[in-house]
Structure 1
């Protein structure tokens, strides 16, 4: 019962945040603003969703192939079909309950292939680390490529950060001491807890997760692994940039602008489940840096979010049906 309550609370908080961001993005709009956004959406080139869907499908295929490399390095060889279905079902799960998709993704693949779930979770953690690294690299590229556009905002951010550090004084050292003390206490408690029954179980799970995490270093063809990673993020960039061509006002944006939209849009997806509310705002605020009207920016944000949402629902549902049907046949 306690676990159910915790899940419900997380569910309510996550979607409550998404609902709040939707309300916040719309509350300041006048009747004319809403009319302008509606007009922009009605004249959008929706046929561009077809190539966007194809590119996203390709990116997920590359991600599944790369995932199979990691799983194979641990001595397992699940069918690529299972990995693709697991990936789509996981994305579908994230639309409903934040971060639940990762567990669902592991479950879909682990059961029919008799793979310890904790090992698959380790590979997903490794994936997230790689994604963060790629996001950081793209952020650096965008910073230098679009420096003339974002230098004013970057200067303000760095100035505030520098000011906060200078004003910290002795409180900085107190904070550091507290953090070190907490880490030392956690290490001590873990050592004592390791000898108990539950400690042994958690230790086994941790080892499995660690094996999945270090599976990157064991892949046979590292060049292909890096190539798939580049192709995955290349597809993400192109699909986002191509979505800008849906409206005439944003059709002339450069591909580096598409990278900037991808970066800030990803942050929006992290904030709220599926990026509900947060993603359109992130796209809108990013486009204002390029002198795009706020109403047009919000229209583009909702258009890109809607495309990803439809893609996830359609292919996630199909994947669930396919994987369920294949299990029944077995």
Structure 2
């Protein structure tokens, strides 16, 4: 009994240490990007940043934050639709609370938000967590596809600005990397991944009679059912409409946010589309987007004639508004979570 307890304690310590290392890694990467973006700034650029912060019209953030709340509600509603085919109908507020607590967890520990929101809803909504993970993966796949569409639309509609940038920084390096006689490390990496997947499959076959294999199959079965729920949606039109509305909300937050600074107030809809696309990539790269989001927003705005200092200030104002909203809503949802009703089973 003592050995088992000690083993569990050691495993818990290892997991805790892993989370701390992950936090340090992603937070450190964000700090590094902030340093890279600021250490070469000239005194005049630094002055531009200070002036932009001092003269910003912060009242603009009120409609931006309200639209942000609407986008989070839409996301909760869309995720809820994926649970209907599996026979679960949790309350919208339970799903919304899980989403916001997940976002809050992402600020503390990178990539923990997805696991956290599934765990919160599994406990409060009485839904198996493996099925929720499947629906979450399906939702993330739709978001990834949506972001790709946003980026292609931005580059395609603004070829004179973004097309040259995209070609010089992405297309040409890829062509150079895979040209005849080039270094084939990328191809070797793909081959190595395929080999590892095959070895993993063989190991699973060898240990299929064990208890752990049974648990793994149960988890994978739940994930598959969650993914399949995307194809068995009872309200496909509502699901895709909510996806469109979510990205429209993000777009409006960016476009209205331009009014916060005099230098960005005259920027049009195409610029908002471009900043949204490249800024969204930054939100994925580092913990909560810190460092990467501000850098990518600033670099994108410089393509449209905005001073780098002003663009960097706008990136910080936009990021701080979104992060503040997540912290307030996340903490609020944590406090009311015990009082929310779990929901009910959907009718067959």
TM-score range normalised by the length of the shorter chain: over 0.9
Structure 2: distance between partners of 1:211 and 1:239: 34
Matching of residues 108-187 of structure 1 within 5 Å: 108-156=120-168, 157-168=170-181, 171=184, 177-187=191-201
Aligned to 1:249: 263
Residue 94 (structure 2) aligned to one of 82, 99, 104: 82
Q: Secondary structure at the match of 1:217?
A: coil
Structure 2: distance between partners of 1:98 and 1:135: 20
Q: Alpha-carbon deviation of 1:88?
A: 0.8
1:274 aligned to 2:263?
A: no
Give the CA RMSD over aligned residues: 1.7
Matching of residues 237-316 of structure 1 within 5 Å: 237-316=251-330
* Contact 1:194–1:203 (Cα < 8 Å) also in 2: no
* Contact 1:73–1:215 (Cα < 8 Å) also in 2: yes
Residue 235 (structure 1) aligned to one of 249, 257, 261: 249
Bigger shift: 79-88 or 167-176?
167-176
Q: Secondary structure at the match of 1:200?
A: helix
Q: Secondary structure at the match of 2:263?
A: helix
More helix by share: 1
Structure 2: distance between partners of 1:174 and 1:80: 47
1:32-67 deviations in Å (ceiling 9; x for gaps): 322221111111111111100111111111111111
Aligned to 2:10: none
Aligned to 2:220: 206
Q: Secondary structure at the match of 1:33?
A: helix
Q: Alpha-carbon deviation of 1:110?
A: 1.1
1:238-281 deviations in Å (ceiling 9; x for gaps): 11111111111111112121111111111111111111111110
TM-score between both structures, scaled by the size of structure 2 = 0.89
1:95-149 deviations in Å (ceiling 9; x for gaps): 1111111121112211122111111111111111000110111111111111111
TM-score between both structures, scaled by the size of structure 1 = 0.94
Structure 1: distance between partners of 2:27 and 2:188: 36
Structure 2: distance between partners of 1:36 and 1:129: 39
Aligned to 1:17: 29
Residue 102 (structure 1) aligned to one of 109, 114, 119: 114
Stretches of structure 1 that go unaligned for 5 or more consecutive residues are none
Structure 1: distance between partners of 2:183 and 2:58: 57
Structure 2: distance between partners of 1:152 and 1:295: 23
Structure 1: distance between partners of 2:79 and 2:67: 18
1:4 aligned to 2:16?
A: yes
1:197-217 deviations in Å (ceiling 9; x for gaps): 101101101111111112111
Q: Alpha-carbon deviation of 1:177?
A: 4.6
Structure 1: distance between partners of 2:340 and 2:311: 43
Q: Secondary structure at the match of 2:179?
A: helix
Stretches of structure 2 that go unaligned for 5 or more consecutive residues are 1-12, 342-348
